Amino acid sequence: MSSSTPAYYNADAVRQVLSWPLVNRAVETALVAIVKQDAETHPQSTSFACQPKRSFTACGKEPGRILFTMPAYVGNYSLESPKSPGDAQQSRSTLACKLVTSFRENPARDPPLPSIHAHVLLFDNQTGQLSAIMEGTDLTTWRTVSASLVATKYLYFRRFGSQAELERSINVAIVGCGVQGQLHAAAFCANFRVKQLNLYNRTLAKAQVLADELQRTLDTESETQVKACSSAHEACQDADVICIATYAKESVIQFADLKAKQGVHINAVGAGEVHFSELAPDIYHQAKVYVDCYTNAEAELVGLPAPITAEVGQIILSENYPKETEITIFQSMGMASEDACVAQAVHDCILSGAKDS
């Protein structure tokens, strides 16, 4: 590749190589690396990450126009080859920065535009030269869902055994059927044995459309039953795992909405003004809360109604899984290290395909 001309990967190029095995491996790698943030205090054989707090830049005096900057360096990690699962590549390091603009008035323009635009910049970690630019919207959506999948694997399934994610059937509730809710629903069916999938949205019709679409696309031999529910209580009352992704300013789920027996896991992915507004305080008071990154949590979860138990990466490393009866919450915020590892995996996969053609 030319040292002076960075590659550019548009949305279609990125979308063509995204797969759950690829993204899940990259996200899990990032969650582990972020636990060890200081390269000087860890041996060279272990991965680490340098990730400052994301910055927010107001774009002029107009409200609702913001530039987010999310840089990260993930060092000394390895990923399995996208073409040879189980065959880990040599240790590598990735320097990347994701830039996200959020302009709330864009959908009202003529013609309408998306409110969110994202791009990831990949750099040569030895020279600092820009090596690739890629569209980051799909990448961001997938890595956010993947973080929920990885958190569910270690915070819910592993409490029942080392292979529980392959053997155990679960009931899943999706609260909020927007872009995140839709992909969460599809991803959980693709990665786990889902017996019952309940969908709830503020407008029932949107949940029903998604239910019909999922039921059509599921394998004919799938055991999954999909149902659109008229209330969050109906959706959640028998759920083992709940994924909530809304812009709600007030709580959507109360403790009374959870199933009678204990042992529920919740992935809270909301993008409201307050990250934890979707869940009622009485749930937090009964639960153990886990995050992707302490640094982000300290800045963005001020006022959280419960202490943070650990980072997900700490649980992966320690294998100190929650008890079967505990309620657990993964308070998802998203982090630049995930973007960096997923972007690197996408970059490698595209290059691998180019070399094979």
For the segment 305-353, what is each residue's pLDDT rounded down to a tens digit? Answer: 999 999 999 999 999 999 999 999 999 999 999 999 999 999 999 998 8
Residue type, 292: D
pLDDT digits (tens, 9 = 90+) for 242-255: 999 998 889 999 99
Using the predicted structure, report yes or no on whether residue 146 has a pLDDT greater than 50.
yes
- In this structure, the answer to whether residues 164 and 84 fall within a common structural domain is no
Using the predicted structure, report yes or no on whether residue 1 has a pLDDT greater than 50.
no
**Structural domain harbouring 55:** 7-140+337-352
- Residue 213 CA to chain centroid, in angstroms? 23
Does the residue 357 lie in any domain?
Answer: no
pLDDT digits (tens, 9 = 90+) for 173-198: 999 999 999 999 999 999 999 999 99
Does the residue 310 lie in any domain?
Answer: yes
- In this structure, the answer to whether residues 58 and 153 fall within a common structural domain is no
User: Which two structure tokens, joined as six digits, stand for 35?
Assistant: 């636990």
Helix (H) or strand (E) holding 297: helix 294-300
The mean of the pLDDT values for the chain is 91
Please give the average per-residue pLDDT across 147-174, as a whole number.
Answer: 98
Q: What is the pLDDT of residue 275?
A: 74
Yes or no: say if 288 and 322 are a contact pair by the CB < 8 Å rule.
yes
Inter-CA distances, 328 with 92, 173, 275, 340, Å: 33, 15, 16, 27
- In this structure, the answer to whether residues 79 and 182 fall within a common structural domain is no
- In this structure, the answer to whether residues 103 and 154 fall within a common structural domain is no
pLDDT digits (tens, 9 = 90+) for 41-95: 555 558 999 999 889 899 998 888 999 999 999 999 998 755 555 555 678 999 9
Dihedrals φ, ψ of 21, to 5°?
-60, -45
Q: What is the number of structural domains in the chain?
A: 2
Yes or no: say if 49 and 31 are a contact pair by the CB < 8 Å rule.
no
Please give the average per-residue pLDDT across 224-234, as a whole number.
Answer: 97
Please give the average per-residue pLDDT across 216-244, as a whole number.
Answer: 93
- In this structure, the answer to whether residues 91 and 181 fall within a common structural domain is no
- In this structure, the answer to whether residues 166 and 298 fall within a common structural domain is yes
What is the Cβ-side half-sphere exposure of residue 93, based on CA atoms within 13 angstroms? 18
Give the domain CATH number at 54.
3.30.1780.10
Yes or no: say if 93 and 125 are a contact pair by the CB < 8 Å rule.
yes
Check residues 277 and 207 and name the one with the higher pLDDT: 207
Using the predicted structure, report yes or no on whether residue 277 has a pLDDT greater than 60.
yes
Of the chain, the percentage scoring pLDDT greater than 70 comes to 91
Please give the average per-residue pLDDT across 259-283, as a whole number.
Answer: 85
Does the residue 24 lie in any domain?
Answer: yes
Check residues 118 and 270 and name the one with the higher pLDDT: 118
